[in-house]
Amino acid sequence: MNSAILRQWKTKGWVCLAVFAGITFLLAASWTVAAGKSKEEGPAARLSEAPLSAQSLRNPFAGDEKAAAAGHKLFEQHCASCHGADGRGLGHAANLHAPAVQNAPAGVLFWALRNGRIRKGMPSWSHLPDEQLWQLVTYLKTLKDER
Amino acid sequence: MAKRQSYVGRLLLVSSLACLVWSAFPRSAKADKPYFVTYDDEMEEPGNLEISLNPVLGLPHSAPNFLGGWTEFEYGATGWWTTEFYLDAQTTRGQGGLFTGYRWENRFHPLADEHWINPVLYVEFENINGADKALAEIVNHDSVDNLAELNHEARAEKEREIETKLILSSNYRGWNFSENFIGEKNLAHEPWEFGYAVGASRPLALAASPHACGFCRENLRAGAEIYGGLGTWNEFGFRGTAHYLGPLLDWDLPGGTSLRISPTFGLNRNSARFLIRFGVSYEIPRFDRIIRRWF
């Protein structure tokens, strides 16, 4: 009798957990979708939050074509799934050709990559070495020429 | 014999289905995590799903050899919230294999910006049995004696636990330093159990090469991690606890797949003598968009 009750409770437990996990997954998915549909402030808002010290950072790879090529490769690996292969932005992700991005000092872009904007879905890329972040910045600056 | 054949058959079926699903998804982003036990502050990118297999081969001195491990589904719910679901299983020499339970984990990144030390809060519910040999963390007085218990006896012990971690992580000049403080509470009126994990790692090259390459230094990351138990609320400390140390090597292949290996050494008599951890991860970028397309 006891084992039958235990089995019954076990089955109920599994069903509850499956329902709970399913609801959580749907909530998480809908949250992401809703975030994608919501009207986003442009990238200018985040870039304006950069500290003054970021503006004076110098890009060690500025104008370096090899660094830009490496940055392009990194962009395809890490950024293209949200910003699009051409960097013009998919869904709520920012258009990287926008003047706010292209006119920003390199150090501010570096700061934005390192810190991300995690409340709005842009992850922090601080786990990438600084060299790779600067290579990405170097590539982003070449997008200006393609507008 | 028939039971063994059915087990192998099921394994083959699941592997074939996994390969089919694997080939059906797009490939682009890559995974970066080098650690097996230690967590860093890196969150899954929003909408991405990472599927990971993490077998651990155990060669304890006073217990049968075993192959444990977990299958992991990690989803980036938002930029600050990552949720993961784990399925644990093991097979022990001469005792057969079994499913040992599931775990559901959530990690929260409370701060908006990057700091010298970045905290992440971790909460997990686990429903596993005493035969679990995933060794996903070491707490309390977990020791090699637990690994010696027979599967059919150990599986009767139910462990429904809440596990919390404070994850602290720093990134400096390509290095990552991560420290985890673990507190685990069995819901069956047992005291809090504690553990720790500390890891450091660095890519072999800091700058990326301009050409697409599979076996180049920027795709390789090396490091080490050390972890172990810290006793319980009533008996806090190193006494009678197990500790492990292992070097790590992570290789990010082009196309979103990542391979990891860590030969791990037990540091005292309470530890298993030697473990080899393997990991293979595959990241599906913007899984949320794929799901949206289906509906």
| Helix extents (H) in B89-205 | 144-148, 151-154
- Looking at per-residue pLDDT, the higher value among B256 and B82 belongs to B82
Q: How high is the pLDDT of residue A38? A: 44
**Residue B47, burial from CB neighbour count under 10 angstroms (0-12, 13-18, 19+):** buried
Residue B86 near residue B20 (C-beta atoms within 8 A): no
pLDDT above 60 for A144: yes
Domain ranges in chain A?
1-38, 41-146
- Residues of B with Cβ-Cβ distance to A129 under 8 angstroms: 173-174, 203, 206-207
Expressed as residue numbers, the domain containing B120 is 29-294
* pLDDT, tens digit, 9 for 90 and up, residues A73-119: 999 999 998 999 999 988 888 999 999 999 999 999 999 999 999 88
**Residue B99 domain flag:** yes
Report DSSP state, residue A53. Answer: H
Report residue A44's pLDDT band, with 50, 70 and 90 as the boundaries.
confident
Over chain B, what is the mean pLDDT?
89
The arithmetic mean of pLDDT across residues A21-34, rounded, is 58
Q: How high is the pLDDT of residue B255? A: 82
Over chain A, what is the mean pLDDT?
82
C-beta atoms of A73 and B208 within 8 A: yes
C-beta atoms of A121 and B32 within 8 A: no
pLDDT above 80 for B99: yes
- Residues of A with Cβ-Cβ distance to B115 under 8 angstroms: none
Q: How high is the pLDDT of residue A90? A: 85
Contact status of A103 with chain B (Cβ, < 8 Å): no
Q: What is the 3-state secondary structure (H, E, C) of A108-141?
A: HHHHHHHHCEHHHCECCCCCCCHHHHHHHHHHHH
Report residue B31's pLDDT band, with 50, 70 and 90 as the boundaries.
very low
Contact status of A34 with chain B (Cβ, < 8 Å): no
Testing the interface with B: which of A118, A125, A137 to mutate, by most B Cβ within 10 A? A118
Of the listed ranges A90-99, B94-103, B231-240, B243-252, the least confidently predicted one is A90-99
The arithmetic mean of pLDDT across residues B255-266, rounded, is 94
**Residue B12 domain flag:** no
What's the total number of domains in chain B?
1
Testing the interface with B: which of A10, A127, A132, A134 to mutate, by most B Cβ within 10 A? A127
CB atoms within 10 A of CB B110: 10
pLDDT above 60 for B116: yes
ipTM attached to this prediction: 0.84
CATH number, domain A41-146, options 1.10.760.10, 3.40.630.30, 1.25.40.10, 3.90.470.10: 1.10.760.10
Indicate which CATH number applies to the domain containing B130. Answer: 2.40.160.40
* pLDDT, tens digit, 9 for 90 and up, residues B175-230: 999 999 999 999 988 899 999 999 999 999 999 999 988 889 999 999 999 999 99
pLDDT above 80 for B171: yes
pTM over 0.90: no
C-beta atoms of B208 and A132 within 8 A: yes
- Residues of A with Cβ-Cβ distance to B29 under 8 angstroms: 77-78, 81
- Residues of B with Cβ-Cβ distance to A32 under 8 angstroms: 46-47, 76-78, 288
**Residue B4 domain flag:** no
**What is the DSSP pairing of strand B274-284 with strand B81-92?**
unpaired
Residue B266 near residue B241 (C-beta atoms within 8 A): no
**Residue B5 domain flag:** no
